[in-house]
Amino acid sequence: MPLQPSRSDLHVNRPLTNISIAYMQDASDFVADRVFPAIPVKKQSDRYIVYTKDAWFRSDAAKRAPATESVGTGFSVDNTPSYFCDKWALHMDIDDDSRENADDPIDLEYDSTELITRQLLIRREKLFMQQYMTTGVWQGFTYSGSVVDFAPNTHGNGYWDAANSNPIQDVALIRSQVKSKTGFKPNKMVVTDNVHNALVNNAVVLDRIKYTQRGIVTEDLLAALFGVEQYLIAGAVYNSAQEGATASMGYMAANTFLLAYSPATPGIRRPSAGYIFQWTGKFGAEAMGTRVKKFRMEHLESDRVEVEMGFQMAQTCRDLGVLGVSVCQH
């Protein structure tokens, strides 16, 4: 009697062409390009002008007696601030053998470009956190005569995940104080994931929105509650382990928030807590200062896909920003 064919004789497992799995976090988790205006620059480094604040909030106007000169006034500028756009780059080599043997739905050129770009975006987001959402860099809040980062349990109404807290009142206090120093109220609010979770469960917040659209706390509602134009959640996740080591996953930032003023677009005589200089003048660079290249590495029998970014993040008006620290107790 002939042997009956086994299942392995009838079917050989191969990759499905209509599904694949990759851990790529959503682009909305990245906030680096949404908080401060981007300035395209032709040169890798240069200077920019800062108008000193004092003259624009002083009034030297005085009564004028007959046959006398009017009182004179003036302003000064600082032309020493400068930027330098560092270049960040990464590549992946696609060897000829791997390309020829890759099964659907693997697209090595597309996948390598996605991987490199994501890793560069993670690097840029990490730099944003180190530059803007770190302690001791902002000067917009003063307590007992000293410039400090805002701690709700010390300077406000308690931890934002506590029953007695009032985040809306805390933010109003910060915005009012910044305006008293600069003439501008912060219009951007960036919160880490755990702070956002505390806010959507805060009793004061829930009470304010209970009669709106089914009582659902949305980012637009939170922006309106706090009086800002944008409410952003910094939810990017980062693996801090080296390649080959066990992954060490975690949020890039936690238990903090940033309140800052920035205009919708950069311009002359427009103050902003920060600007991002993007080197678009480099040959082949796109609008965001990004350059994607593919070229042959014949000695490796491979094609190289390379992505490069040129930018610098700058704090241009430190008194237009306030960092919130130790926001939640849990």
Q: What are phi and psi for residue 77, nearest 5 degrees? A: -130, 155
pLDDT for 23 equals 54
Query: Taking residues 189-213, what's their average pLDDT?
Result: 91
Asked whether residue 15 is assigned to any structural domain, the reply reads: no
Please report whether residue 216 resides in a domain: yes
Provide mean pLDDT across the span 24-31: 78
DSSP, collapsed to helix, strand or coil, labels residue 146 as strand
Domains contained in the chain, number = 1
Banded pLDDT at 12 (limits 50, 70, 90): very low
- Does residue 235 belong to any structural domain of this protein? yes
Beta-strand pair 188-192/230-234: parallel
Closest-CA residue to 261 (of 57, 27, 36, 62)? 36
The rounded radius of gyration (Å) of the Cα atoms in the chain is: 26
Of 14-23, 135-144, 183-192, 218-227, which range is least confident?
A: 14-23
Which CATH number is 243's domain given?
Answer: 3.90.1690.10
Query: For residue 7, is it within any domain?
Result: no
Least confident of 41-50, 100-109, 125-134, 144-153: 100-109
Q: In the chain, helix, strand, coil percent, each to 5?
A: 30, 25, 45
What pLDDT score was predicted for residue 21?
47
Which residues, including other chains, have CB under 8 Å from residue 26's CB and lie 6 or more apart? none
Paired tokens of 183: 């003439």
Question: Nearest-CA neighbor of 88 among 117, 110, 54, 51?
Answer: 117
Among left, alpha and beta (phi > 0; psi -120 to 50; other), residue 228 is: beta
Residue 329 within any structural domain of the chain: no
Q: Is the residue at 1 inside a domain?
A: no
Q: pTM of the full predicted structure?
A: 0.86
Distance CA 111, CA 185 (A): 43
SS3 at position 252: coil
Query: Residue 171 and residue 64: Cα distance in Å, rounded?
Result: 44
C-alpha 95/C-alpha 297 separation (Å) is 9
Percent of the chain at pLDDT above 70?
92
Q: Which domain holds residue 89?
A: 23-58+71-324
Give domain status of residue 261, yes or no: yes
Residue 173 lies in a domain: yes
Q: What's the gap between Cα 22 and its chain centre? A: 24
Residue 56 to residue 51: CA distance in whole angstroms:
9
